[in-house]
Structure 1
């Protein structure tokens, strides 16, 4: 009798957890603890945002020099602003799929001013294997002839110049002293 009750309680607990979303598949996107975040896995078309908004549409979504986004089946345009690499966008991960449909896994961050998408993984519809959104880190390592992109932003010459010019918070009056 106790075994039956235990199985029913376990089944009830699992059903309640699934209903409330407390159990997430092990291969799903990871939450980051951001207000308004929601795990979101869906199919969408990869687009050049400027093209979508203004009609200025160069070939190949601007060849990696433009911000890319995702258009969902209901017509919703999402800015894909983050990848799995710290302080890096998702454009290089999405660029090979310009104009194509992809399945994405990540976080939608809803804020009254804007809704954005933080890409963690992607794949072509129907594929079984996910690809982690780390193209920026791989590209940075290649361009900088190094094996390690960890904390790339502290070693990047372009980022360093921007920080020296505009400060860490984008204000020129808060410029750190030159490093020696």
Structure 2
């Protein structure tokens, strides 16, 4: 195939359409069994860390550390870097706090995907898939969010449809501020287009 040089970039781009992105091998990739999500800049990453309350760790607000509703982080043992576990192993892109909170203050081993890219500003973003206490053999899959939500909101969970269409907290915000928080005018206009 003879492709003019000026069209080579377009050819390469089009020829790779549909080809899954392969994960990069990073400094924490050894031993990782994390499943790829085909996200840009993802690397499999398995490491030991202490589960910490983020507000306590960053701002010194430790009065109610590790209580319900607080975000948790992973303070890596190897280098002391605070890593933000912003996703669990579920496809619904919920956070990982529900899965990590029972381990708050403990040394754990996690396996998942680390996203690092200076250009886009992604630093130490972690998608935890598996977790276990250091020294234990059995892993726990980090997929507890929907079960915890269903337990907290059984009436909403019993309804048909996606969870966020039934979540009373979301419905209350929409009722108070309209869709996207823009007020009734936008909500009425949006509803008219449905």
TM-score range, shorter chain: 0.7 to 0.9
1:68 aligns with 2:72: yes
Q: Equivalents in 2 of 1:30, 1:177: separation in Å?
A: 40
Q: 1:157 aligns with which of 161, 168, 172?
A: 168
- The CA RMSD over aligned residues, in Å, is 3.0
Displacement of 1:132 in angstroms is 0.9
CA distance in 2, matches of 1:151, 1:34: 24
Pairing partner for 1:134 from 116, 137, 143? 143
**Cα pair distance change 1:149/1:70, threshold 3 Å:** farther
Q: Any unmatched runs of 5+ in structure 2?
A: 1-23
TM-score, with length taken from structure 2? 0.68
In structure 2, what is the equivalent of residue 12 of structure 1?
A: none
Structure 1, gaps ≥5 residues long:
1-19
Per-residue CA deviations over 1:25-64 (Å, capped at 9, x if unaligned) read 9x82211111111111111000011111111112442x12
Asked if residue 172 in structure 1 is aligned to residue 186 in structure 2, the reply is no
**Structure 2 residue aligned with 1:114:** 122
Q: How far apart, in 1, do the equivalents of 2:173 and 2:40 lie?
A: 29
Q: 1:118 and 1:166, CA in 2 relative to 1: closer, same or farther beyond 3 A?
A: farther
Closer, same or farther in 2 for the Cα pair 1:149/1:47, shift >3 Å? farther
Contact 1:104–1:122 at 8 Å: present in 2 too? yes
With structure 1 as the length reference, what TM-score do the two structures score?
0.72
Q: Report Cα offsets for 1:105-145 as digits up to 9, x if no partner.
A: 11111132132111111011122211111222111111222
Q: Specify the alignment match of 2:53 in structure 1.
A: 48
The answer to whether the 8 A contact 2:56-2:65 is kept is no
Name the residue aligned to 2:13.
none
Structure number with higher relative contact order (C-alpha < 8 Å, ≥ 6 residues apart): 1
